[in-house]
Amino acid sequence: MDEPAQAPSGEPDAFLGGRLFLRQPERGHRAGTDAILLAAAAPAEYADLALDVGSGVGAAGLALALTRRGAKVGLIENDPRTADLARENLVLNGMPDRGQVFEADALSPRSRRAAGLADESAGLVISNPPFFDARRSRPSPDEGKRRAHVMPGEGAGALEAWIAACLALARPGGSFILIHRPENLAAILASLEGRAGGVTVLPVHAREGAPAIRILLRAKKGSRAPLSIAPALTLHEGSRFTAIAEAIHRGDAAIDW
């Protein structure tokens, strides 16, 4: 049984109502709501290997493991310093036997193999990839933020390569869950063509009546089932979380879609 998380004073950030603690870089990208939503989008009773591609310090993968006691997680991260933090977070949260950090370039089959990652090994692959195209964004001067926010490569082909790498790690019939920006939906769907189907898209709104700020997308590898749109998730009501968003952030609810 997992040991309770222990939080050294003044260092880690608390998530899931204090059930999850994460050491994060003092500067650069820091995990937040996107990672928690991605973890909550996994099946509520998932009990197999889940791989978190581009895991950062492990926020989504560890949140998934803490809320699905039968799951094991693989955290795939290319940056050595960030991968070290992910390893620390596995231990900090009492899960050294339920998770592993794979220090690898997820886009490179050779790098994945060298790190011990086998293709078609996971029943579930999740990813919160860099959202921005290098050609259309002004990169942050901070290296950590730039790496977390800007997709390697250029154009739609860069996002397609990321999705193809994620699906390469999923078993036939396995699931792939992605969080992204709504304006990239067309490119995501095009990247899934011929690789995965049974796609469900769930819009995420900051407030009721406002445009979606994120999409969650779920697909099944090898499926030819049609596209469906799930009921939207609204995060805020006035200055507070909605009841469902609050429950998700405490780790008490999964997204029902």
pLDDT of residue 154: 54
In a domain, 185, yes or no: yes
DSSP state of 4: P
One digit per residue, the tens of pLDDT, for the chain of length 257 reads 344 455 444 489 999 999 999 999 987 779 999 999 999 999 999 999 999 999 999 999 999 999 999 999 999 999 999 999 999 999 999 999 999 999 999 999 999 999 999 999 999 999 999 975 645 545 545 454 444 446 566 556 899 999 999 999 999 999 999 999 999 999 999 999 999 999 999 999 999 999 999 999 999 999 999 999 999 999 999 999 999 999 999 999 999 99
Q: Give the other-Cβ count within 10 Å of 98's Cβ.
A: 17
In a domain, 20, yes or no: no
Helix (H, G, I), strand (E, B) or coil at 100: strand
In a domain, 243, yes or no: yes
In a domain, 17, yes or no: no
| Range of the structural domain that residue 226 is part of | 31-132+152-250
CATH number reported for the structural domain that contains residue 96 in this entry: 3.40.50.150
Q: How far apart are CA 140 and CA 156, in angstroms?
A: 21
pLDDT of residue 1: 39
In a domain, 101, yes or no: yes
Quote the pTM value. Answer: 0.88
β-strand partners of 59: none
Q: How far apart are CA 54 and CA 83, in angstroms?
A: 10
Burial (CB < 10 A; 0-12, 13-18, 19+), residue 70, is exposed
98 with 65: CB under 8 angstroms? yes
Domain count, the chain: 1
71 with 64: CB under 8 angstroms? yes
Residues in the chain: 257
Q: How far apart are CA 95 and CA 58, in angstroms?
A: 12
